[in-house]
């Protein structure tokens, strides 16, 4: 009689079963991972402190506007990931040149500082679509902003075409040879308009502490003479533009 031994433990069958179960776990969990939002667990509300650097151009009556520098700092509060209230201060220099030689002043150099309150509204308020990576998250957080503020400027004018009668300049200038320098800072109200986004940098100084904020701001002057000189009664009030990048620290 032939004795048949029954083996309760078959290594090949055990290995095949283990691989099958493992593959099922991986395949079943993959859709779940794909549903996780890129910003899951992000710090979406609270105070943020920002510091940045930018280049500006004066946009008034001058035919040439060299690029100058602007320093920016701000304190903001994110009500959510797509709506922000920002208090911002700026400091820098701006300049304009009369390349046509038709003004009584050939150049202006403006040392300025400003303060403003801004509201910023992101695309995510209209469509909170799923963010699968950093790029789509930055698109969703792209914003447009508007605010109100004051700019204070101290101006140095260089004399130009002597045959042209100056229409108007800021009062309180001290003549220094061919220069006219204002004795104090003069304030003009302004309306800043912003376009930009916020780019998360997870893992830098914490799980979600630092963001990059590229931004373009154009500030409209509510009165002339912010650049120190109004060549004609009909001269535009103008404004200035700033292209900047800031770091935002999340509290």
Each domain of the chain, given as residue ranges in start order, spans 47-250
13: pLDDT strictly greater than 90: no
Whole-number pLDDT of residue 3:
43
Tallying the residues shown for the chain, one arrives at 251
| 47-250 CATH, one of 1.10.10.2120, 3.40.50.2300, 3.40.50.300, 2.40.160.20 | 2.40.160.20
Please write the tens of the pLDDT for every residue from 16-69.
554 554 544 434 333 333 344 555 667 889 999 999 999 999 999 999 999 999
Radius of gyration of the chain (CA): 30
Cα angle, residue 237 at apex, residues 105 and 99 outer, rounded to 5°: 35
pLDDT digits (tens, 9 = 90+) for 23-38: 444 343 333 333 445 5
* 239-242 contacts at long range (C-beta below 8 A, 24 or more positions apart): 239/59, 239/60, 239/190, 240/56, 240/57, 240/58, 240/59, 240/94, 241/56, 241/57, 241/59, 241/216, 241/217, 242/54, 242/55, 242/56, 242/70, 242/72, 242/90, 242/215, 242/216, 242/217, 242/218
d(CA 184, CA 171): 10
Instruction: Report the greatest alpha carbon distance in the chain.
Output: 131
pLDDT tens per residue across span 135-146: 888 899 999 999
225, 237 Cβ separation under 8 angstroms: no
Percent over 70 (pLDDT), the chain = 83
Determine the pLDDT at residue 41: 66
Reply yes or no on whether the pLDDT at 11 is more than 50.
no
Cβ neighbourhood burial of 211 (10 Å; 0-12, 13-18, 19+): buried
C-alpha 58/C-alpha 67 separation (Å) is 8
What global pTM score does this model have? Answer: 0.80
- Strands 83-97 and 239-250 come out as unpaired
């Amino acid at each position: 009689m032939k004795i048949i031994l029954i083996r309760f433990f078959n290594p090949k069958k055990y290995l095949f079963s283990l691989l099958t179960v493992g593959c099922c776990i991986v395949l079943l969990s993959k859709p779940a991972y794909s549903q996780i939002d890129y910003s899951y667990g992000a710090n979406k509300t609270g105070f943020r402190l920002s510091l940045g650097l930018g280049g500006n151009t004066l946009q008034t009556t001058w035919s040439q506007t060299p690029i100058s520098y602007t320093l920016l700092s701000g304190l903001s509060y994110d009500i959510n990931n797509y709506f922000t209230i920002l208090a911002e201060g700026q400091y820098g220099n701006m300049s304009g040149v009369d390349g046509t030689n038709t003004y009584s002043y050939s150049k202006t150099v403006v040392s300025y500082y400003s303060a403003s309150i801004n509201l910023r509204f992101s695309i995510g308020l209209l469509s909170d679509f799923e963010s699968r990576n950093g790029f789509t998250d930055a698109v969703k957080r792209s914003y447009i902003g508007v605010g109100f503020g004051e700019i204070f400027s101290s101006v140095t004018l260089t004399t130009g075409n002597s045959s042209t009668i100056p229409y108007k300049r800021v009062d309180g200038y001290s003549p220094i040879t061919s220069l006219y320098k204002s004795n104090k800072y003069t304030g003009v109200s302004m309306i800043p308009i912003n376009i930009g986004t916020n780019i998360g940098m997870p893992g830098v100084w914490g799980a979600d502490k630092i963001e990059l904020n590229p931004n373009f701001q154009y500030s409209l002057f509510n009165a002339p003479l912010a650049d120190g000189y109004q060549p004609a009664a009909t001269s535009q009030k103008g404004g200035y533009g700033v292209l900047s990048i800031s770091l935002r620290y999340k509290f």
